């Protein structure tokens, strides 16, 4: 057994783990954070996506021992109390999910994209989601959900900057059809 210390969703954790334990099993079974899903176990589907030191990674292809000293964020760590993260809200508003199995991974990939590229084109979004497989939605509404979130996050950033914000909800004015012509 090897001792590891990780910060998960802001809480420090210390445990003894077997070297062969994958990070995803550590999160789900040791910490009970079952929002991170296992869809394939072969680094393919993206259901297990979490952030490690701020970057989206597949937690089924990382040993828990390798995460020692790192900061992990899972889907459970995105909302602030009752307030959903804009990407979570986007999925709700734009019907970005059906069965919901892929959704935590989709959202973790999308939040990584938006922190590096706040104004992504549709093509940027599709490229960023290459490693997340969804059997239900056909992806279109997932892309829309992320466009919705990007728009909302830009608006809140402008509001924080003190710049004038339109009184009508900006997301209602997002012209999705136009954005799709990329």
Partner 1 sequence: MKPFTYTRADDITSAVSEVSQQEGAKVIAGGTNLLDLMKIDVMQPRHLIDITRLALNTIEETAQGGLLLGALVTNADTAYHEQVEQRYPLLSHAILAGATAQLRNKATDGGNLLQRTRCYYFYDTHTACNKREPGTGCSAIHGYNRIHAILGHSEHCIATHPSDMAVALAALEARIHVTGPRGERTIPIADFHRLPGDTPEKDTNLADDEIITSIELPSKGFAQHYTYLKNRDRASYAFALVSVAAGLDMEGDTIQEARIALGGVAHKPWRNPEAEALLIGKRASRENFQPVADAYVQKAKGFEHNSFKIELACRSIVRALMQAAKIDQ
- Binding partner selected for residue 83 from ligand FES, partner 1, ligand FAD, none, CB under the kind-specific 5 to 8 Å limit: none
Q: Which residues, numbered 131-160, are part of the site for ligand FAD (CB under 6 A)? A: none
Comparing CB distances to ligand FES, the nearer of 10 and 46 is 46
Nearest to 67 by CA among 4, 144, 14: 4
What residue ranges bind ligand FES (CB under 6 A)?
38-41, 43-48, 58, 60, 97-103, 134-137
DSSP tag of 66: G
Element (H, E) at 51: strand 49-52
Tell me the per-residue interface mask from 33 to 72 with ligand FAD, x by CB under 6 A, - otherwise: ----------xx----------------------------
DSSP 92-156: HHTT--SS-SSHHHHHHHHHHHHHH-SS--HHHHHHHTTT---SSS-SHHHHHHHHHHHHHHHHH
What residue ranges bind partner 1 (CB under 8 A)?
2, 18-20, 22, 41-43, 46, 49, 52, 55-58, 61-63, 65-66, 68, 109, 112-113, 126-128, 130-132
């Amino acid at each position: 057994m090897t001792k590891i210390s990780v910060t998960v969703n802001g809480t420090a954790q210390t445990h003894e783990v077997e070297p062969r334990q994958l990070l995803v099993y550590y999160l789900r079974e040791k910490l009970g954070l079952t929002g991170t899903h296992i869809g394939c176990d072969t680094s393919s589907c993206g259901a297990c996506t979490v952030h490690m030191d701020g970057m989206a990674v597949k937690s089924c292809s990382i040993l828990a021992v390798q995460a020692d000293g790192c900061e992990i964020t899972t889907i459970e760590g995105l909302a602030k109390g009752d307030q959903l993260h804009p990407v979570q809200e986007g999925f709700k508003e734009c019907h970005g999910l059906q069965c919901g199995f892929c959704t935590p991974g989709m959202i973790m990939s999308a939040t990584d994209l938006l922190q590096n590229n706040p104004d992504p084109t549709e093509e940027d979004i599709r490229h960023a989601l290459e490693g997340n497989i969804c059997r239900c939605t056909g992806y279109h509404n997932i892309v829309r959900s992320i466009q919705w979130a990007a728009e909302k996050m830009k608006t809140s950033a402008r509001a924080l900057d003190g710049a004038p914000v339109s009184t009508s909800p900006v997301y209602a004015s997002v012209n999705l059809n136009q954005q799709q012509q990329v």
